[in-house]
Amino acid sequence: MSRFIKNFLGFCSIGAAMTLLSMLLIAVTNEILSWNPEVSYDFAYITTLLLSYYLNTKYVFHSSFCFTKLLSYCATYISGMLLGMLLIKIGIKLLPQINETIITYAVIPITLVWNFLFVNKILTMKKEKR
């Protein structure tokens, strides 16, 4: 199996695990700790984003930790979220007869590929020699 496919499958596996962890963190912070829902969401999102960076760096891409790569990783996820929001708006305008939840779900594979392509580029870059 090619390295690209292995990386993609590993990236997807970590993404799935982070989604489940995020759901658990939101449930615990909302239901047990009675946090404000926005604070719970932010906490879960930031926690799982940082953990996914660590796990992808160490286990999928076998890259070293680098603050610049971490910032690029976070920027990738923000850009993916913005792309998803744009595609949802376009989908709702162009396909008003389609259920909005279905349109939102249809965006997920696009943002998944978007995020993977940029993360793959970021975490497989070699340090430049000076």
Q: Which domain holds residue 24?
A: 3-124
Q: Is 31 exposed, middle or buried (0-12, 13-18, 19+ CB in 10 A)?
A: exposed
Question: Structurally, how many domains does the chain consist of?
Answer: 1
The answer to the question of residue 99 being in a domain is yes
Residue 130 has pLDDT above 60, yes or no: no
- Per the rule left: phi > 0, alpha: psi between -120 and 50, beta: everything else, 35 is beta
pTM of the model: 0.87
Up-side HSE of residue 121: CA atoms within 13 Å toward CB? 7
Angstrom distance (rounded) from CA 68 to CA 81: 20
The answer to the question of residue 130 being in a domain is no
Q: Measuring CA to CA, which residue among 121, 95, 123, 124 is closest to residue 107?
A: 95
Place of tokens 């680098």: 66
* pLDDT tens digits, 60-111: 999 999 999 999 999 999 999 999 999 999 999 999 999 999 999 999 999 9
The answer to the question of residue 65 being in a domain is yes
The answer to the question of residue 129 being in a domain is no
* pLDDT tens digits, 16-67: 999 999 999 999 999 999 999 999 999 999 999 999 999 999 999 999 999 9
Residues 46, 49, 18, 81, CA torsion sign: positive
